[in-house]
Each structure stands twice: as structure tokens, then as C-alpha cells.
Structure 1
Amino acid sequence: MNDLSPKNRILLVFNSATGQPGRLGTVMRRYGFEFDIRRPGEGDPLPTDLGKYHLVVVFGGPMSANDDHLDNVRAIMNWLPHVVASDAMYLGICLGAQMMARHLGADVVPHPEGMTEIGYYPVQATEAGEHLFPDELMVYHWHSEGFGIPDGAELVATGPTFPHQAYHIDERIWGIQFHPEVDDEAHERWLSNAADKTDRPNAQCPDTQRAGRAKYDAAFGAWFERFAETVLLKNRMACDVGQSS
């Protein structure tokens, strides 16, 4: 890759020892990206020079964005200022979105009535998100806390239980409360490892989740393909066009 070519690396930051890029990896590989995987909870350092990355993705995890006593949470929260100061795009998924929201001054708190979203639930576009979301989309969730909207951010998707579902800042920093990376393998692994959590308020049992996957996953996956092309690849495609002209 010469100095003028578009960046083709994505930094993937996992909050667990077993997390995988799943559908996100499948989609982004098709566009020629390579992955640099870091797991700060396992001792991996987080790079402070982000100039060689097109995109930084921070995935979810079972902990809270407020758990500063945990190595991975503390490491990521201390590192996020480098992301904000860089030119790299950022996608926070669930916990990753909550961490960025917290870093930017918003609260991350449980639902006031103790509700969760574990399974398939609807999200709706806000007026600002009509070009990104259909009127309603069934997406996969696994969370018990939600994020506030940081100053300067724009809410682009909402939902009936947790009203803040997706935000962006300057079309560079994106946070989504749900999990487009979860493919069939990841879903079964999560159900196997944490089925005991599916009896929480508003959570769906494993059989209901599997039925939801059969009914909704194809449309959810197609949405993420469009989102990747429209949002995550936007600057890279502009660079490609500029170099070919």
C-alpha cells in the first residue's frame, strides 16, 4: 500500500476474550479491509496513533461502561480521547456506544423500571435518521443499561423501551445500542454462555430469540450492509473516487 492509497485497516477492540467480528467482519472483508484485533482486558495495548486506521470499532461486553475497576473498561475510557482527537471513524456497538457517550459527558444508566432488551426489538428512525433506518426495523439487543445523548450528538434511531438507540457526531463518531455483528454462530454462543440472563424483565427466552432470528435476521443483515456502505465506507469511497479521477 503506497502513501496515497486509502487506509485499509480497521481496529477492532473487544471487551471479552472470546468476541469475534461476526457479520461486521464478513461485510468489511468484502471491501478489502484487514483487521487489527485488540483485547485490552487480556493485556493488549491500544494504539494511540490512529492515523493508519480507517475505522475503529469497540464492541460490547457483559460489564458496565461505569465499571472503572475493570481493566478493559479503564483502558478504553482512558484511550477514547485519542479516538476523538483523530480523524478515524468510530463505531461503538452497545457497550462501545455507551463508553463513548460517557466519555463525551452523557450518563449510562439502567432502565428506570429495571427493563432490559435481550432479544429482537423494534427501533424507529428519528427525523434525522430517515435516510439510515426504515420506519421500523427489528434488531438484536443484549443490554440492561442505556446511554444518554452527548452534547453535539444527533439521535438517529429510537425505541419504545430505551429511547436512545443510535447517535452520531459529525458523521464520524457513531454509537448504536444493538448488535449487527451477531451472526448465527455468535447468537448460539451467547445463548449457550448466558441463557440464565434471559429471564430478566422484558428479556426474551432462547426459543423466542431463535424464532426472532429466523424471522428478522435477513432484513437486519441487509440493513447493516446498507449502513456499512452509506456510513462506514463513505470517506474511503470518496478517497477511491478522488484517486481514480
Structure 2
Amino acid sequence: MNLNTSFPKTIYAIQHLAFEDLGSLEDVFYQLGFRVRYFEAGVDDLSPALNYEGLTIILGGPIGVYETEDYPFLIDEISGLRQRLKDDKPTIGICLGAQLIAHALGANVYAGEQKEIGWSELEIKNVEQNILSPLKNTKVLHWHGDTFDLPENATLLASSAMYPNQAFSIGKNILALQFHLEILEESFEKWLIGHTCEIRNAQLSIQQLRNDNYLYAQDLEQKTQNLMRSFLEYLI
């Protein structure tokens, strides 16, 4: 892969929860010669990440985009993201990050009828140059309770059996993913510990989630590498 020497060589990531990091994506970026810099939402000034000309990735977390009264930092994050998207700067949102993108683009974000937690396949849409094509017939990790309507002018890329809007793009620079493609097999235990209350409230089996991670995560990691390389090629 030939990288454009003028494209910024650091990936900025906005993190809303300590253990929900870039996961397997981080290795891809390092292999391609990028550096990674994290910003902690609610603690750090996010404006450098939101104003950045290079790629910014907005990661997941357990809060909702509508909880601005309890988490007022969201107001500035959404405002900065709205301007970023208007300027068509390269942006990926994962889970909460996808919901923030949808909200910033004027779409409704709201609690779904039920939690979607666990591994299942996506329905990859038959659209031209679908960046998610490598994930066809691949189980991915879902971990969310909120969902969103499709923003105006967005291209729907994937659905699941439970929720129709799993991924969308705006042009070639903006990608929103409700599911978690970044999960790293060796780090999944952190999710099981950190989300234990949510897992038990949903009456899910921790052992089943652990077993499914062992069965499916490595395949997802390999396909995610190909997907992310393709996304960066589009950008540069």
C-alpha cells in the first residue's frame, strides 16, 4: 500500500470508556506507519481531535447522545463533530461514535426495543464499492441498546436481523459503524468485566460470550485489517 506522504501520519481517537479502545485497528495503523493519539472524552479538550485534518475515530461507550444534562461534555463534542462532518474531514464512528455522527447529521438517536449484545452476521448491502464487503458471512460483535435513523444523504451499508441501520457512509470520508469491528480477542475479557452489570441485566451468558469471542474474533481481526487498509486507500 502506497501512502500519500502529505496525509497526516497520526490517527486521533476519542475514547469514552477506558477498555473500549482501537483494539485490532491499532496494529493496522502501526503496520502502515501511523502513530495513534488518544483523547479521553469528559477529561481532555476534544477540539484538537475534532478539528484535525487527518483521520479521527470516535469510539464507543455506555452513555447515550441524548444524555447531555448528565454528561455536558457531549454538547461540545457534538458541536465540534457537526462542524467536522460539514467540512467532510475523514471520520469513523464506532457504536456510540456512530450514534454521535448520526445525531450530528440531524438523525434521531433513541433507545432500541432491546439490547443487541453478542456475535452475529451482518446483511451487507449491495451498493457500489461497499467498504464492508470483506465482512460478508462474518460474525461481528454487537454491543448496544440505542439505535438511530439513517441520516439524510447517507448510504446504508449494513443491517442486522435486529436493527436495520448498522452502518452507513457519507461520501468516502465518513463511516459510521453501530457494531464493533475493532474487538481484539485477547482483550475481550475486559469487556466482560467492565460490562458485567449490563450482561447480567440482559440475562446473557458470560461464558457463551467468552466462547463466541474465541470462535469468531480472530477471523474478524483479519478481515478488519483488509477493510481498514481499503478505507485508508480511499482517503489517500
Q: Do these two structures clear the TM 0.5 threshold for a shared fold by scoring above it?
A: yes
Residue 211 of structure 1 and its aligned partner are, at CA, apart by 1.3
Match of 1:233? 233
Counterpart residue type for residue 118 of structure 2:
G
> Are residues 1:25 and 2:26 paired?
yes
Match of 1:209? 209
Q: Is the 8 A contact 1:91 1:173 kept in 2?
A: yes
Match of 1:60? 60
Which has the larger displacement, 139-148 or 68-77?
Answer: 68-77
Residue 195 of structure 1 and its aligned partner are, at CA, apart by 1.4
Match of 2:126? 127
Q: Is the 8 A contact 1:38 1:46 kept in 2?
A: no
> Are residues 1:107 and 2:100 paired?
no
Deviations 1:52-72 (A, max 9, x none): x2x110000010111112034
Q: Secondary structure of the equivalent of 1:207? A: helix
Q: Which runs of 5+ in 2 are unaligned?
A: none
> Are residues 1:90 and 2:121 paired?
no
Q: Secondary structure of the equivalent of 2:122? A: strand
Residues 1-245 of structure 1 aligned to structure 2 (within 5 Å): 5-47=6-48, 49-51=51-53, 53=54, 55-69=55-69, 70-112=71-113, 115-128=114-127, 131=130, 132-133=132-133, 134-201=135-202, 204-236=204-236
Judged with a 3 Å threshold, the aligned counterparts in structure 2 of structure 1 residues 185 and 42 are, in CA distance, closer, same or farther, namely farther
Counterpart Cα distance in 1 of 2:46 and 2:165: 31
Counterpart Cα distance in 2 of 1:82 and 1:60: 20
Judged with a 3 Å threshold, the aligned counterparts in structure 2 of structure 1 residues 174 and 18 are, in CA distance, closer, same or farther, namely same
Residue 184 of structure 1 and its aligned partner are, at CA, apart by 2.8
TM-score, normalising length: structure 1: 0.85
Counterpart residue type for residue 161 of structure 2:
P
Counterpart Cα distance in 2 of 1:219 and 1:17: 24
Percent identity of equivalent pairs: 25
Residue 21 of structure 1 and its aligned partner are, at CA, apart by 2.0
Counterpart Cα distance in 2 of 1:151 and 1:218: 35
Judged with a 3 Å threshold, the aligned counterparts in structure 2 of structure 1 residues 129 and 200 are, in CA distance, closer, same or farther, namely farther
Choose 1 or 2 for highest CA Rg.
1
Q: Is the 8 A contact 1:155 1:168 kept in 2?
A: yes
Q: Is the 8 A contact 1:17 1:41 kept in 2?
A: no
Write out the 4+ residue segments of structure 1 that deviate beyond 6 Å after TM superposition: none
Counterpart Cα distance in 2 of 1:125 and 1:174: 14
TM-score, normalising length: structure 2: 0.88
Q: Which runs of 5+ in 1 are unaligned?
A: 237-245
Q: Is the 8 A contact 2:21 2:59 kept in 1?
A: no
- Over aligned residues, Cα RMSD in angstroms? 2.1
* Count of residues in correspondence between the two structures: 229
Counterpart Cα distance in 2 of 1:42 and 1:19: 16
Judged with a 3 Å threshold, the aligned counterparts in structure 2 of structure 1 residues 4 and 116 are, in CA distance, closer, same or farther, namely closer
Q: Is the 8 A contact 1:129 1:156 kept in 2?
A: no
Residue 87 of structure 1 and its aligned partner are, at CA, apart by 4.5
Judged with a 3 Å threshold, the aligned counterparts in structure 2 of structure 1 residues 136 and 110 are, in CA distance, closer, same or farther, namely farther
Q: Secondary structure of the equivalent of 2:68? A: coil
Counterpart Cα distance in 1 of 2:139 and 2:148: 19
Counterpart Cα distance in 2 of 1:62 and 1:129: 33
Counterpart Cα distance in 2 of 1:45 and 1:205: 36
Deviations 1:162-189 (A, max 9, x none): 1111100012111001112221343111
Judged with a 3 Å threshold, the aligned counterparts in structure 2 of structure 1 residues 98 and 223 are, in CA distance, closer, same or farther, namely same
